[in-house]
Amino acid sequence: MSAGTNNALQVKVWRGDADGAYESYEVPQQENQTVLDVVTYIQRHLDAALAYRFACRVGVCGSCAMTVNGRPRWTCRTHVSRVAQNGTLEIAPLQNLPVIRDLVTDMTPFFEKWQEARGRFVPGEGPRDTLAQVPPEQTERAAASAAIECINCGVCYSACDVVAWREDYLGPAALNRAWAAYNDVRDGDRTGVLKAVSAASGCNNCHTHQSCAEHCPVTLNPTFSIAGLKRATLKASLKGEL
Amino acid sequence: MTPRLYLLQRGTAFVMVPLVIVHLAVIMIAIQGGLTAEEILARTRGSVSWALFYGLFVLAASLHAGIGMQAISREWFGLGQRAAAISGHVFILLLLVLGLRAVVGVYGI
């Protein structure tokens, strides 16, 4: 690391599995230092056994999310100067997911729920004679565009109160993805999305706390998507389509 | 929560909006100058329209609160889906019995 200020950060990092504990480290403070830089410094210079996950370092891959001073964040784009409190950081794994070790969570339940919410494309029957025409100004296309840039980081899932309360709830990311899939007019079974998200564990459990929208690092609004699913499932239910 | 339960809970809330306004307005207007229990009962007994008004109120409130209780049981008390549903039904029944008993008592029908 290049030389910066001489101040040292006091960093507490979660070690072990769910029954683990915080360990304290002292990390040199730099200008323009991200939380991921801090974790990497600890792993490279202080404790090589520290387990954490990252890949792109530029806010694209969504793999470095952790709980920083109590809030879920993407650590590669979170500057220490913005989140440190009196020169201290407390870094823990994401909440609402099983902890494998240290800062690494098991994302399996998170992605299983994407499948459960039918957040994937289902093609229509047979080959098309022409390519689907989807004008950018189309209502469905605009709704899908607003929801589609999710980086799958799990921050919203970790921030959601309802996920914390009932573990079967599909959660904001999967439902946001389902809303994008539902608004894909090329999809061969859009009602199938509504059937999936209207299950007992589905979209109607959302309390509209908006923690997902508050914490989403790429400023998506899953609460808005879930509200759209609530309206769509209600209409479909009244028409007897579900 | 399924779309049907969601609709029922929002629908009963919608029904209760005018009922609550009338309920509160009547209380505030009628209580001016003081009212004894006897005077209240003298006005309410035999009134089919008020009995229907509060009968509907009790029904809507019971369903609304029962569905809410199911969610609370699931989310705060950690009950499973089936146990939470049972708790919701029991709560609906309890509120219906208590509420309708009050309606019968006050309106004497």
Q: Could you read off the pLDDT of A16-59 as tens digits, one per residue?
A: 999 999 999 999 999 899 999 999 999 999 999 999 999 999 99
Domain CATH for B87 = 1.20.1300
- CA distances in angstroms from A70 to A12, A155, B22, listed in the order given: 12, 12, 46
Enumerate the residues of chain B whose CB falls inside 8 A of the CB of residue A240.
none
Is residue A194 in a domain? Answer: yes
User: What pLDDT digit, counting tens, does each position of B30-89 carry?
Assistant: 888 788 888 888 888 888 999 999 999 999 999 999 999 999 999 999 999 999 999 999
Q: How far apart are CA B70 and CA B79, in angstroms?
A: 9
Number of domains in chain B: 1
Tokens (6 digits) for A60: 């694209």
- What's the pLDDT at A219? 97
Task: Choose one of A82, A105, A128: the last residue of a domain.
Answer: A105
In a domain, A186, yes or no: yes
The verdict on a CB contact (< 8 Å) between A237 and B5 is no
Q: Note the ipTM here.
A: 0.80
Q: How many domains does chain A have?
A: 2
Burial class (CB in 10 A: 0-12, 13-18, 19+), A139: exposed
Domain, as residue range, for A91: 8-105
First to last CA, chain A: 58
For residues A229 and A124, membership in a common domain is answered with yes
The pLDDT assigned to A3 comes to 44
Same domain, A220 and A200: yes
Render pLDDT for A74-129 as a digit per residue (tens, 0 to 9). Answer: 999 999 999 999 999 999 999 999 999 999 999 999 999 999 999 999 988 767 67
Report d(CA B35, CA B43) in Å as an integer: 11
Parallel, antiparallel, or unpaired for β A88-92 and A71-74?
unpaired
Which residue on chain A is closest to B77 by alpha carbon?
A165
So what's the pLDDT on residue A4?
47
Structural domain containing residue B100 = 3-30+46-107
pLDDT exceeds 60 at position A2:
no
Q: Classify residue A18: in a domain, yes or no.
A: yes
In a domain, A2, yes or no: no
- pLDDT at residue A5 tops 80: no
**DSSP bridge partners of A15:** A21
B75 vs A166, A204, A236: nearest CB: A166
The CA distance from A71 to A50, in Å, is: 21
CATH number at residue A215: 1.10.1060.10
